[in-house]
Amino acid sequence: MRKWIPAVLPGVITGGFAGQGLAAELKVKLELPRLNVAEYHRPYVAVWLERPDQSVAANLALWYDLDTKGAEGAGTKWLKDLRQWWRKSGRDLTMPLDGVSGATRPAGQHELGFAEGKAPLGRLPAGQYNLVVEAAREVGGRELVRVPLSWPPKSAQSARAQGQHELGAVSVELKP
């Protein structure tokens, strides 16, 4: 299990990149709602950036059961339930994803930070993207939320979307 590191990038590192100043930042806040159900399992969650044609531009986070053994086999067994992520990206990858995979998380607010030029965001061509959050819960439901954004940001911006079942509020903050 690897702890999520809010990636506020020191300017020193990006300073070397062809005259670029501070790296642009992408912050994601997402809420996993507290659900009053008889049997609760932490959801599997994938966070990624997609291009307008819905192809995956960057995998940002993947929370799943990292066990490689167990009564039900490896935790990867249920990755397919993150249906869209699995089809568009997951099935072509080898788990765990370095710097992207992490253990499942409890209900509540979670913050993720990414910086341009640094894994897993990397350097993306300027353009329109959607930040996509997909959550699937064992014996529960599945939900996908999209937040449109343009990258790199020219000014500080924020956008949000609201999940209805498996996701609460998803907000994105951009800093140039």
Partner 1 sequence: MKHLARLAALAIAATLPLTAQAHHYWLLPSSTVLSSPQWITVDAAVSNDMFHFNHVPLGLEALNIVAPDGGKVAPENMAKGKLRSTFDAHLTQPGTYRIQLVRSGVRASWKVDGQPKRWNGSPEAFAKEVPADAAELQVGEFVSRLETFATVGSPSALKPAGQGLELVPLTHPNDLVAGESATFQMVVDGKPAAGVEVTVVRGQSRYRNQLEALKFTTDEAGKFSVTWPQPGMYWLDADLQDAKTSVKAARQRMLSYTVTLEVLPQ
Question: Which residues contact partner 1 (rule: CB under 8 A)?
Answer: 73-74, 76-80, 83-84, 86-87, 90-92
Cβ closest to partner 1, residue 41 vs residue 77: 77
- In the complex, minimum distance from the CB of residue 111 to partner 1, in angstroms, rounded to a whole number: 27
Alpha-carbon separation of residue 174 from 40, 118, 153, 171 (angstroms): 33, 15, 6, 10
- In the complex, minimum distance from the CB of residue 156 to partner 1, in angstroms, rounded to a whole number: 33
- In the complex, minimum distance from the CB of residue 141 to partner 1, in angstroms, rounded to a whole number: 11
- In the complex, minimum distance from the CB of residue 82 to partner 1, in angstroms, rounded to a whole number: 9
Cβ closest to partner 1, residue 74 vs residue 124: 74
Cβ closest to partner 1, residue 86 vs residue 129: 86
Contacts 24+ apart (CB under 8 A), 41-44: 41/104, 41/137, 41/138, 41/139, 41/140, 42/104, 42/105, 42/106, 42/107, 42/137, 43/104, 43/135, 43/136, 43/137, 43/140, 43/166, 44/78, 44/79, 44/81, 44/82, 44/104, 44/135, 44/136, 44/137
Cβ closest to partner 1, residue 48 vs residue 78: 78
